[in-house]
Amino acid sequence: MTIHPTAIVASGARLGEGVALGPHAVVDADVTLGDGVVVGANVVITGHTTIGEGTRLFPGVVIGEPPQDLSYKGEPTEVVIGARNVLREHVTVHAGTARGRGRTVVGDDCFFMAGAHIGHDCIVGNGVILSNNVLLAGHAHLGDFVLIGGGAAIVQRVRIGAYAFISGLSGVTKDVIPYAYVIGHRGRLDSLNLVGLKRRGFNREAIRTLLAAYEILFAEEGLFRERLDRLTNEMGSDPLVRRILDFIAEGKNRPLLHPLSRAGLDPSTETDLLEAGV
C-alpha cells in the first residue's frame, strides 16, 4: 500500500492490498477500496462508496457526493463501482436517492473520459465508454458496451440498450433499443451500430439478423404494436432479437426513440455495408 503524506484517510475507511493514494487525496470513513485501486492527486471519495479492484481514478475525480436532487435529505445512499474501471480527470459520480434506487451503480471494465458525469441512481453496465463531458442525468440506465460520444447528454430515466452508440453532442430524450446508432443534436435513431457490432465480434449472419429485425420494427407501414408483434412471431426465438424485445417489454409504456423518417434500408446498401467490413 502506498499513501502519500498529504493524503487524508478517515478512520473506518477500508483499503485493500496494493491501494495507492496520491497527493491530497481524500478517502472518507464509509469508503471501501478494493485491491490495487489507484487514486490520483486531489481525488475525493466520500459517502457510502465501494470501488472494485484494479480501478484507477485520475486527478480531480469526485465520487460519492450527495445527489443533485432537491428531495435528498441526507439519507445514507450509496455508490457502487465495479472492477478495472478507468475514470479520467474530473469525472463525477453522485450517490443515489432514497426515493430512487438508493444507489448509483457502475459495472466492470468501463472507461470514462475527462469531465463525464454520472448522476444519482444511474445504472451503468459493463464495458461502457463515456467520452469527454458526457452527462448522464439521474436514473439513466446504460446496458453493457454502450459507447457515448463527447458532449452528449442523456435525459433522466432514459434507458440505452446494450451495444448502442450515441454520437457526440446528441441529446437523448427517449429510450434507445440495443444495438442502435443515434445521431443528431436532438438525438434520432439512424440505424444500427454496425461498426461497433463488428468490432465487438458479431459475425455477418448476426448483423444480417439484426438488420432484418430493425427493418421489421421500424418499417413505415402499419402500427408499431403490429410490427412488434410481427417481429416477435417471426424472429422472437433468436437470442439477439430477443434482447430487443425484452428491452421494449421492460420499458412498458416508456417512450422509445424512432427514426424521424425512412423508406427502409435498401438491401443492396446492407450488402455494401457488410462487404465493406462493418
pLDDT digits (tens, 9 = 90+) for 134-152: 999 999 999 999 999 999 9
Prediction pTM value: 0.93
pLDDT digits (tens, 9 = 90+) for 90-119: 999 999 999 999 999 999 999 999 999 999
Residue 195 CA to residue 114 CA, distance in Å, equals 24
Residue 7 CA to residue 42 CA, distance in Å, equals 9
Q: Three-class SS of residue 243? A: helix
pLDDT band at 79 (very low <50, low <70, confident <90, very high): very high
Tracing cell 459475425 back to the chain, one arrives at 203
Tracing cell 433499443 back to the chain, one arrives at 177
Cβ 121 vs Cβ 139: under 8 Å = yes
Q: Which of 69, 108, 121, 175 is catalytic?
A: 121
Residues with Cβ within 8 Å of 235's Cβ and at least 6 positions away in sequence, in order, are 209, 212, 213, 216, 241
Query: What are the backbone dihedrals phi and psi of residue 230, each rounded to the nearest 5 degrees, phi first?
Result: -65, -45
Query: What are the backbone dihedrals phi and psi of residue 54, each rounded to the nearest 5 degrees, phi first?
Result: 75, 5
Q: Which CATH number does the domain 2-157 belong to among 3.40.50.2300, 3.40.50.300, 3.90.1300.10, 2.160.10.10?
A: 2.160.10.10
Question: Tell me, what's the pLDDT at 213?
Answer: 98
Looking at the structure, give the CATH architecture of the domain made up of residues 198-275: Up-down Bundle (1.20)
Residue 130 CA to residue 176 CA, distance in Å, equals 16
Residues with Cβ within 8 Å of 34's Cβ and at least 6 positions away in sequence, in order, are 16, 50, 51, 52, 53, 54, 55, 83
- Give start-end residues of each CATH 1.20.1180 domain in the chain: 198-275
120 is annotated as an active-site residue: yes
Question: Tell me, what's the pLDDT at 277?
Answer: 43
Q: Which of 125, 138, 149, 187 is catalytic?
A: 138
Question: Tell me, what's the pLDDT at 261?
Answer: 66
Closest CA to 149 of 123, 125, 122, 169: 169
- Give start-end residues of each CATH 2.160.10.10 domain in the chain: 2-157
To which H or E segment does residue 1 belong?
none
Rounded to the nearest 10°, the torsion over CA 207, 210, 211, 215 is 180
Q: Which of 48, 94, 117, 120 is catalytic?
A: 120
Cβ 7 vs Cβ 22: under 8 Å = yes
Percent of the chain at pLDDT > 70 equals: 94
Question: Tell me, what's the pLDDT at 265?
Answer: 43
Residue 123 CA to residue 227 CA, distance in Å, equals 30
Q: Rounded mean pLDDT of 227-238?
A: 98
pLDDT digits (tens, 9 = 90+) for 167-202: 999 999 999 999 999 999 999 999 999 999 999 999
Which letter, b or e, does each residue of 195-220 get, where b requires 16 or more Cβ atoms within 10 Å of its Cβ? ebbbeeebeeebbebbbbbbbbbbbe
